[in-house]
Structure 1
């Protein structure tokens, strides 16, 4: 029997893979998706979406404690961790089911099983019933990534957790150690700290949220400490001694090593690409530190083979994966596609306070040789922020002093993950300070601070 043939086969149905499949189908291609576990991938099932559901519960709980500030009464406050987790899982399930519906609607063939590439243009799909081979004119790798494990710090699901264990916690931690202060680490630290865990965050770099602008990191750290978190920077966890119900962590900094006792540890020390077992090396695919090496159009160098999303390297963001999926589908369909500019991809962290950024930090802009103009505006100077009871935060803009080009924007505070998109559009349209100054921002909104931060870069701020 001849193998089923498709114009495009996508391996992995996360936010990169399923979007690539839908766009390919819209353009008239015959498309198959191979997925070994969940439609929607890590993002929908074990990442972006369920964590936001948990964080929303923590945010509401935090606000309930502030009821008096708003002239409200709330007594006997508490939470049911199992119910919080159940809501998060229900949200993930609803969206995962929605992906199935979208793929069906777009007539995409879905094959549930483990994929490998035995020969060029061929995908072998292993299921409980055996192995089926299908052929594709183009193949898109969208297999994503998983949590990095460090020797001696491996998760056991009991005392030491990965993000997956932390999403469905068996218990509420009393004394929690979070290793790593990137987006994943700091979001879980924020969630458990708000619910009452005594939380310590360890970061090997010189500051928390190390990819963010230094000023934003410093502001966020101040808020985390105010909320009761203990933050240890330039510190490494060298060893974990595990015994029933407790972990003794050996923490090393410039002064030496100290020990501290915890009942739960969350390891969030980065991710590694899912490149194993696919047969990529035999096909001649170049892999660098667990990530497939691609050009600006996500081509691997092997004819007809593309790689998108987390497997293709940083930034490890769902929206980057989706956009690459669309671009690759359009290339395969013979359309003119534009490569993605990393400097126009926003990063968002949903801790309290939220953090969002796009483009170059002040430090990176200077290192790249730019002469910069920097503007800042504090939440405390914004009417809407005060009315919301959210006066802690800031908006920062970085411009090229010579051309007025917006090089980067960085925010910390309430709802900044929703606001950053204004600057993202600005970066995509190659906007200047003049365009932004001439834009009329609605009042009263938090977004007015985006205008003021631009004005401030040029000594024209009105409310400061």
Structure 2
């Protein structure tokens, strides 16, 4: 630092303006702290500009296309349906611009300063920011690291944004691929596959890292295999991507399985793997922030790092790279800084996938519950027998619950089907409150609605579900 350099002082410096960062900043400002956000690119971060929001715009368009193509069941005759990617791109960009403007307005209203540039720690209470030739120094009482993550790319693969894409960059593709190869097994890979299949692409998913299946509950994996086959999406398992070559506007990929080498050809390739945390440029070694063995920032339940006045949230910390995690951690860090009692417990993070139909899960799978030593009971209720699902011709999927057999406490909820994204919150809240089966069967459920599928899934544990032809067991009647 140059002697005599002007130092700006803030109570809280937030490095990164993504969902976690701006939630942390606004919450800290609400609690009376002076706050500055240092953002390298755009407010809203990857989630708003190339992740959550644009990918869900594509998924929403795919769902609408699917619905329109099946609208004749409702007496709605549309003729041949055409899809215009350019039109969808225009809508996507408009949504992003509106939400970006909204985040900027919230920061202004909360008197949060926003500075653009690359940040790095100088010492335990100072951060430098560089933007071109411009250099600033900020002194802070507390800092929150929210720098997010970058796509992980296999060695030797070059994502050129023309034929080979990441799960983020493919949201800006200019053409519908003739034949799309998707390498990955996370929610982005699934959403990409289902969306572009509806847009007209021939799609193949290659599970990464020689995985033999997706990471959901076994019941969802089985149904997912059926649904992908129903949509005409091919799945390659137990393979590792070795190399990808682009020639004459075609992509050829080389895979290695346990038994043989394979090669597949397509017009485009999308690589969607677990991202890597953005930490390299922060100078964490200067202030002694400790990392985990996997390379994430080590934090406690208040999101505090090994340095008392430095916090970390989101993708730079261990756990699923989900915005919901970053948002909760951001608020927790801000409230802890303000002296409030706060905690970020990630055990019941809901995870959603906007496939057709959607997937939503929270809590333990059957296998996880057994491995943790629980004696369990599990049941599932098929949406094929739910009246509201029948009305909408959305019969695929089910609601599954996992309970602790010893005390009837709910351990996991796994939903695959119509209404899953909205319904999962009921399961999450129930588990947060350590609900027993009777807590879920006692309330009234609106009729007709998909909510009733959750009720009957729980009732099925003890053979009380009305709309199951073969109850798990008959209830004993006392004389």
Q: Report TM bin, short chain.
A: over 0.9
Aligned CA-pair RMSD: 1.3
Asked if the contact 1:309–1:316 (Cα under 8 Å) also holds between the matched residues in 2, the reply is yes
Separation of aligned partners in 2, 1:353 and 1:235? 26
Segments of 5+ residues of structure 1 without an aligned counterpart are none
1:407 aligned residue? 411
| Match among 295, 312, 316 for residue 311 of structure 1 | 316
> Does residue 147 of structure 2 align to residue 143 of structure 1?
yes
For residues 21-420 of structure 1, what are the structure 2 equivalents within 5 Å? Answer: 21-204=25-208, 205-210=210-215, 212-288=216-292, 289-337=294-342, 339-420=343-424
Matched position secondary structure for 2:347: helix
Per mean C-alpha deviation after superposition, the further-off stretch among 90-99 and 287-296 is 287-296
Distance 1:113 1:31 in 2: 16
Q: CA shift at 1:438, angstroms?
A: 0.6
Which residue in 2 is equivalent to 1:429? 433
Q: Is the 8 A contact 2:383 2:397 kept in 1?
A: yes
Residue 461 of structure 1 corresponds to 465
Deviations along 1:314-340, one digit per CA (max 9) or x if unpaired, are: 121111111111111011011111x22
**Residue 241 of structure 1, CA deviation:** 2.5
Cα distance between partner residues in 1 of 2:54 and 2:95: 7
Deviation at 1:285? 1.4
Of 74-83 and 286-295, deviating more is 286-295
Cα distance between partner residues in 1 of 2:354 and 2:165 = 20
Tell me the CA shift for residue 193 of structure 1. 0.8
Give the aligned partner of residue 472 of structure 2.
none
Cα distance in 2 for residues equivalent to 1:390 and 1:207: 28
Contact 1:208 1:221 in 2 (8 A): no
Q: Distance in 2 between matches of 1:85 and 1:120?
A: 44
> Any idea what SS the aligned residue of 2:19 has?
coil
Conserved? CA contact 1:373–1:458, under 8 Å: no
Which of 423, 442, 447 is the equivalent residue of 2:446?
Answer: 442
Specify which of 6, 16, 20 is matched with residue 20 of structure 2: 16
Deviations 1:165-216 (A, max 9, x none): 2111122111110000210111111111111111000013544432x11110
Q: 1:208 to 1:90 in 2, by over 3 A?
A: farther
Task: Verify the 8 A CA contact 1:121 1:135 in the aligned structure 2.
Answer: yes
Contact 1:207 1:218 in 2 (8 A): no
Cα distance, 1:129 vs structure 2:
4.5
Deviates more, 1:178-187 or 1:55-64: 55-64
Contact 1:154/1:160 (<8 A) preserved? yes
Q: What are the Cα deviations for residues 208-243 of structure 1, in whole angstroms up to 9, with x where unaligned?
A: 432x11110110121011101001111222221221
For 1:460 and 1:252, the matched residues in 2 are separated by 49
In structure 1, distance between residues paired with 2:236 and 2:436: 39
TM-score relative to the length of structure 2: 0.94
TM-superposed deviation, 1:152 = 2.1
Contact 1:400 / 1:407 at 8 angstroms: preserved in 2?
Answer: yes
Moved more, 8-17 or 240-249: 240-249
Describe the SS at the equivalent of 1:16: helix
CA distance in 2, matches of 1:283, 1:171: 47
TM-score normalized by the length of structure 1: 0.97
The 8 Å contact of residues 400 and 406 in structure 1, kept in 2 or not, is answered as: yes
Q: Distance in 2 between matches of 1:409 and 1:340?
A: 20
Per the TM alignment, residue 2 of structure 1 is displaced from its structure 2 partner at its CA by: 4.3
Give per-residue Cα distances to partners, 1:126-183, cap 9 Å, x unaligned.
1234110011100000000111011122311122111232111122111110000210
| Residue matched to 2:471 | none
Aligned equivalents of 1:346, 1:220: Cα separation in 2:
18
